[in-house]
Amino acid sequence: MYSLCVRDHIMIAHSFQGQIFGPAQRLHGATFIVDCEFRREQLDADGLVVDIGKASEVLHRLLDQLNYRNLDEDPEFAGQNTTTEFMARAIFERMAALIAAGELGPGAVGLSSLRVVLSESHLAWAAYEAPLNRAAG
């Protein structure tokens, strides 16, 4: 399996509901380093997993929709604890939709899976990964 990973970051504000979150129940900020790893079994005709420049641009554009936002005010996340784990899947789903819409170009047709990792620090991170629909692209 081949893979290619691109990285960017977002800064958000949010709060959590539930005693388990202690002081994080109050509004606080978080900075996430976001790694988006594209995987495929065979390289495309150009010897690529996916165009690294296009992947970087699409990830940045996707994250720009979340950057410097208070997620508590976003109707998409209403009533949801926007934990690191939850946000990894939310970003995965947005990227998978962009891949399916052809935003990464025709070479993305052969992508087999995607993994999104959100790092809160060098000590803690969460990820979501799943297969992609092979008809995407």
Q: Note whether residue 11 is domain-resident.
A: yes
Tens digit of each residue's pLDDT (9 = 90 or more) over 13-71? 999 999 999 999 999 999 999 999 999 999 999 999 999 999 999 999 999 999 999 99
For the whole model, what pTM was predicted? 0.93
pLDDT higher than threshold 70 for residue 134:
no
What Å distances lie between residue 77 and 42, 43, 55, 61, 82, CA to CA? Answer: 37, 36, 25, 19, 7
Average pLDDT over residues 61-88: 96
Q: Percent helix, strand and coil across the chain, each rounded to 5? A: 35, 30, 35
80 domain-assigned: yes
CATH number at residue 92: 3.30.479.10
- Domain residues for 125? 2-131
Strand-pair partners of 7: 35
Please tell me the distance from the alpha carbon of residue 38 to that of residue 54, in angstroms, as a whole number.
12
Cα dist from 137 to 21, 46, 122, whole Å: 40, 16, 34
- Residue 137 domain-assigned (yes or no): no
Residue 135 pLDDT exceeds 50:
no
Task: Please check whether residue 136 lies inside any domain of the structure.
Answer: no
Domain count, the chain: 1
